[in-house]
Amino acid sequence: MITNRSESVLSIAIMAQKASAYFKLLKFRLSMTVAFSSAIGYLLGQPGGSWVQIALLIIGGLMVTGSANIINQIIEKDLDKLMKRTATRPLATGQITPFHATIFCILLGVGGLFIMGYFFNVLTAAVALLSLILYGFIYTPLKRISPICVFVGAIPGALPPLIGWVAATGVLGVEAWILFGIQFLWQFPHFWAIAWVLDDDYKRAGFRMLPMEGGKNLKTAFQIMIYTLVLIPFSLLPLQFGMTGTTSALIAVICGVLFLAQTFYLMRTCSKKAAMNIMFGSFLYLPIVQIAFVLDKL
């Protein structure tokens, strides 16, 4: 016989499981990375900025990015079932229905845009909305149509530091575009390394992430190298425009050279191991360089 206590425990367990499923929809680690980049842009634009404002920007960024991630999962829920990496996502397993995910998505998106527009400025909210639309409604369906999806996806992927700068200054100046450019160039070795490692999984869903005439070969490895190479001089622009000092510029160059060295290994071997090295290298490069920029500014 089930007691009232047992029913309560079961009810709490079900609620906890449901809350966990909604949390997974956010892709929290990815969303937090985006919010972190926004905070970097804010601190560079306003070094003495309020920590309350930074916290609000991070929360708003998490909400908008989470909303974009949910759009992606709603559109790809049947495709996610085909890939090992995504087969256990809440929509793919039926833990959450598309209707309830849509409601959650709208609440997050509207809430995040309100925070950015009310506590910062309308331009910040407008750019965040553009990022959400590009990622959710353009990049996501393009993944099965053309490798140009990586270029399109790199735009919303590079907007967070620009959004942070605009939130701090209210101006979409050259400094904001420099921050955008660094993160935009970084996206290509980052995306293509991931696509190389997960190529078999992506093929199951029909995703076309690697370059059209590339695939897992020297042509793709060469393109990865070129974008990584261009990233080095581009990372010196913050120094040129007085955004940061020489210390962070030196750190950016050292990190860029080490990042570039990994691409030579990929060109030589065209191996999954080399692609994984670039993937993990990309995870380290961006936060190290961005933190160096901020510390040099403070």
Q: What is the pLDDT along the chain (298 residues), one digit of tens a residue?
A: 445 666 666 677 777 888 899 999 999 888 899 999 999 999 999 998 889 999 999 999 999 999 999 999 999 999 999 999 999 999 999 999 999 999 999 999 999 999 999 999 999 999 999 999 999 999 999 999 999 999 999 999 999 999 999 999 999 999 999 999 999 999 999 999 999 999 999 999 999 899 866 689 999 999 999 999 999 999 999 999 999 999 999 999 999 999 999 999 999 999 999 999 999 999 999 999 999 999 998 7
Question: Residues 290, 294, 295, 298: what is their CA dihedral angle, to the nearest 10 degrees?
Answer: 180
| 236 and 290 belong to one structural domain | yes
- Specify whether 196 is located in the same domain as 100: no
In angstroms, rounded to a whole number, what is the distance separating the alpha carbons of residues 79 and 111?
Answer: 29
Residue 179 lies in a domain: yes
Contacts of 122 (CB under 8 A, 6+ apart): none
Q: Is there a single domain that holds both residue 77 and residue 65?
A: yes
**Measured at the alpha carbon of residue 132, what is the angle toward residues 297 and 174, in degrees to the nearest 5?**
35
For residue 14, what pLDDT is reported?
Answer: 76
In the chain, the number of structural domains is 2
166/179 same-domain check: no
- Strand, coil or helix: what is 82? coil
Please, how many CA atoms are within 13 Å of residue 214, restricted to the half-sphere of its CB? 24
User: Has residue 132 been placed in a domain?
Assistant: yes
What pLDDT does residue 211 have?
87
pLDDT of residue 5: 66
> How far apart (Å, rounded) are the C-alpha atoms in residues 289 and 83?
33
Residues 202 and 294 in one domain: yes
Query: CA 270, CA 257: separation in Å to the nearest integer?
Result: 19
- Is 7 within a domain? no
The verdict on 105 and 47 lying in the same domain is yes
Same domain assignment for residues 179 and 150 = no
Please name the residue ranges forming H helices in the chain.
Answer: 4-25, 28-45, 51-75, 77-80, 90-93, 98-119, 122-133, 140-142, 149-169, 174-197, 199-205, 218-234, 237-240, 246-269, 272-297
Whether 165 and 175 have beta carbons less than 8 Å apart is answered as yes
3-state secondary structure of 270: coil
Q: pTM higher than 0.85, yes or no? A: yes
Structural domain contains residue 20: no
Verify that 153 and 184 share a domain, yes or no. no
Q: How far is CA 241 from CA 161, 185, 202, in A?
A: 16, 19, 41
Residue 293 in tokens = 């920029």
Residue span of the structural domain in which 249 resides: 174-298
Using CA atoms, how far apart are residues 28 and 184, in angstroms rounded to an integer? 21
Residues 221 and 277 in one domain: yes
Together in a domain, 154 and 193: no
CA angle (26, 285, 215) in 5-degree steps: 75
Q: Which of 250, 262, 233, 229 is nearest to 295 (CA)?
A: 250
Q: What is the pLDDT of residue 1?
A: 45
Query: What is the structure's pLDDT at 283?
Result: 95
In a domain, residue 114? The reply is yes
Within-domain flag for 44: yes
**28 is written with which tokens?**
């929290």
> Is residue 80, in this structure, part of any structural domain at all?
yes
Residues 182 and 154 in one domain: no
Would you state the torsion angle of the CA atoms of residues 205, 206, 210, 213, taken in this order, to the nearest 10 degrees? 160
In a shared domain, residues 146 and 245:
no
